[in-house]
Amino acid sequence: MRSLVLVGHGSHLNGDSASAVYRYAELLRQRGLFGEVIESYWKEEPSLRQVLRTTSSTDVTVIPMFISEGYFTETVIPRELGLGHQGPVPPGGIARVIGGHTVRYTLPYGVHPAMQQVILERAREALPEFSAQDTALIVLGHGTTRNENSNRVIHQNAAALRELGLFAEVHALFLDEEPKVTDWASRIQAPRIIVVPFFASEGWHTQETIPEDLNLSGQQTTFTATPHAPQTIYYAGPVGTHPAVAQVIFQIAEEASQQSSGGDLDHTLVEAWNTLGERASQGLRVGEVLIVPHGNLYELRHVLDEGRAANELTTYVTPEGLRDRIRFDDSGTYRPVRTFRNMPRHWRAVVGAHDLRRVLQYVYPAAVEETHAYTCRTLHFTPWPTTARRQTGLYARVQKVSSAQVEQVAATVCSQCLRSRLWAAEPLTRTFLEGVPGGLPCAEACTYLVAAVRDWQKQRKQEAGT
Q: What is the pLDDT of residue 352?
A: 95
Give the integer Cα–Cα distance in Å for 326 and 345: 9
Q: What pLDDT was estimated at residue 457?
A: 93
| Domains parsed from the chain with CATH numbers | 3-111+245-264 (3.40.50.1400), 115-241 (3.40.50.1400), 268-365 (3.30.1360.190), 381-464 (3.30.70.2320)
The pLDDT tens digits of the residues spanning 215-249 come to: 999 999 999 999 999 999 999 999 988 988 888 88
- Do 337 and 413 touch, CB atoms closer than 8 A? no
CA distances from 448 to 42, 298, 323, 330, 377 (A): 10, 32, 20, 21, 26
Give the three-class secondary structure for 138.
strand
How far apart are alpha carbons 200 and 423 in whole angstroms? Answer: 33
Are the beta carbons of 33 and 4 closer than 8 angstroms? yes
Q: How confident is the model at residue 79 (pLDDT cuts 50, 70, 90)?
A: very high
Rounded Cα distance, 300 and 318, in Å: 12
CA separation for the pair 416, 243 (Å, rounded): 38
* pLDDT band at residue 143 under the 50/70/90 scheme: confident
Instruction: Give the Cα separation of 227 and 160 in Å (integer).
Output: 28
Interatomic CA distance for residues 334 and 336, integer angstroms: 6
* Distance (Å, whole) CA 82 – CA 4: 17
pTM across the whole model: 0.85
Confidence category of residue 145, pLDDT binned at 50, 70, 90: low
Contact between 284 and 301 under an 8 Å Cβ cutoff? The reply is: no
- The span from the CA of 58 to the CA of 108, in Å, is 22
**Tally of residues, the chain:** 466
3-state helix, strand, coil in the chain (%, to 5): 45, 20, 35
- pLDDT category at 61 given cuts 50, 70, 90 is very high
In sequence order, what are the residues at sequence separation of 6 or more whose Cβ sits closer than 8 angstroms to the Cβ of residue 20?
A: 8, 65, 200, 201, 202, 240, 241, 245
pLDDT digits (tens, 9 = 90+) for 294-304: 999 999 999 99
Q: What is the pLDDT of residue 6?
A: 95
Quote the pLDDT of residue 157: 95
> Which residues lie across from 440 on neighbouring strands?
419
The Cβ of residue 227 has, within 10 Å, a number of other Cβ atoms equal to: 10
- Give the mean pLDDT of the chain: 93
Distances (CA, A) of 175 to 131, 143, 202, 204: 26, 6, 15, 13
pLDDT value, residue 148: 67
Contact 107, 93 (CB under 8 A): yes
Residues 259-303 pLDDT 10s: 777 789 899 999 999 999 999 999 999 999 999 999 999 999 999
Between the CA of residue 413 and those of 323, 360, 365, 417, what are the distances in Å? 23, 23, 18, 8
For the cut 70, the answer to whether the pLDDT of residue 147 exceeds it is no
Each residue of 179-209: pLDDT tens digit?
Answer: 999 999 999 999 999 999 999 888 889 999 9
Beta strand pairing call for 220-223 and 284-286: unpaired
The two beta strands, 440-442 and 419-421, are parallel
Confidence of residue 258 (pLDDT cuts 50, 70, 90): confident
DSSP state of 111: G
Partners of 64 in the beta sheet? 7
Percent of the chain with pLDDT over 70: 98
Is 391 in a helix, a strand, or coil?
A: coil
Measured in degrees and rounded to the nearest 5, phi and psi for residue 190 equal -60, 145
> Is the confidence at residue 131, as pLDDT, over 80?
yes
Taking Cα atoms as reference points, which of 223, 232, 171, 162 lies closest to residue 196? 171
Q: 171 phi and psi, to 5 degrees?
A: -125, 140
Which DSSP letter does residue 180 get?
Answer: B
Strand partners, 289: 286, 302
- Residue 274's Cβ-count burial label (10 Å; 0-12, 13-18, 19+) is exposed
Q: Give, in degrees to the nearest 5, the angle at Cα 447 between 382 and 370.
A: 50
Q: b or e along 349-378 (b: 16 or more beta carbons within 10 Å of the residue's beta carbon)?
A: bbbeeebbbbbbbbbbbbbbbbbbbbbeee
Handedness of CA 99, 338, 18, 247 (dihedral sign): positive
Which residues, 6 or more positions from 169, have their beta carbon under 8 angstroms from its beta carbon? 136, 137, 188, 189, 190
CA 55 to the chain's CA centroid: 17
